[in-house]
Amino acid sequence: MLYGGCREAMIFSEKEQSLLGHHAAEVEPRLRRNLLRAIMEEKVLRISRGTVIGGAKLGVFTGLYCATEQYMALYRNTHDTLNVVAAGSLTAATFGLILPGSMTWRLRSAFLGSVIGATLGVPLGLLQSFLAKYSNAPEIEKETKQQVSVQEHDSVGDAIRRLEDRVSSQKSGN
């Protein structure tokens, strides 16, 4: 968001100086105030627009990274470095595709982004795996064992068995 707002402010400040430089001395004070007000309004709108668009782009790439990492974890049924590498590579390649330029330039940028994303993903994935291993490993193992025992345990079948036992005990008791 900050990058988008700052970029728009810098672009517009060059335009603002060119507008004020030509017209500042030639214009009467009332028209000069109106010109300055119009310039400031346009500057605020452009900075706001840049901030919103920059934040939206950041949100899309963050969502793409997290979704890819979680999909890989679910698909492979493990949380490891490869998930981070794949997510970083895909996200950086997508970023390379949206850069301005010809299609050849975009494909080149996507390939370079994929390589950079994978390269940065390896140490980050190793760090994430290391921290996960030593921070809450007993809790994860306990949750995994509970999930497996719940899956192996047939609660509907047990409920039917209990109901049948209760009905048969009532019949034999009468």
Q: Which residue type is seen at 140?
A: I
Q: Find the angle CA(152)-CA(155)-CA(159) to the nearest 5 degrees.
A: 145
Q: What is this structure's pTM?
A: 0.59
* Alpha helices (runs of H) in the chain, residue ranges in sequence order: 2-23, 29-76, 81-98, 103-135, 137-152, 155-173
Lowest mean pLDDT among 36-45, 104-113, 132-141, 155-164: 132-141
Segment 74-90 shows an average pLDDT of: 89
Q: Find the angle CA(76)-CA(78)-CA(83) to the nearest 5 degrees.
A: 75
Give me 158's structure tokens: 């047990």
Q: Are 79 and 132 in contact (CB under 8 A)?
A: yes
Has residue 142 got a pLDDT over 70?
no
Has residue 111 got a pLDDT over 90?
yes
Q: Which residue has the tokens 């490891």?
A: 80
Cα–Cα distance measured from residue 35 to residue 46, given in angstroms and rounded to the nearest whole number: 16
Closest by alpha carbon to 132, among 62, 73, 174?
Answer: 73
Helices (H) and strands (E) in the chain, counts: 6, 0
What pLDDT score was predicted for residue 8? Answer: 77
Greater confidence (29 vs 80) lies with 80
- Over residues 52-68, the pLDDT tens digits come to 888 888 889 899 999 99
Q: Which residue type is seen at 10?
A: M
Q: Find the angle CA(124)-CA(104)-CA(108) to the nearest 5 degrees.
A: 20
- Over residues 20-30, the pLDDT tens digits come to 666 556 667 78
What pLDDT score was predicted for residue 98? Answer: 86
Has residue 85 got a pLDDT over 60?
yes
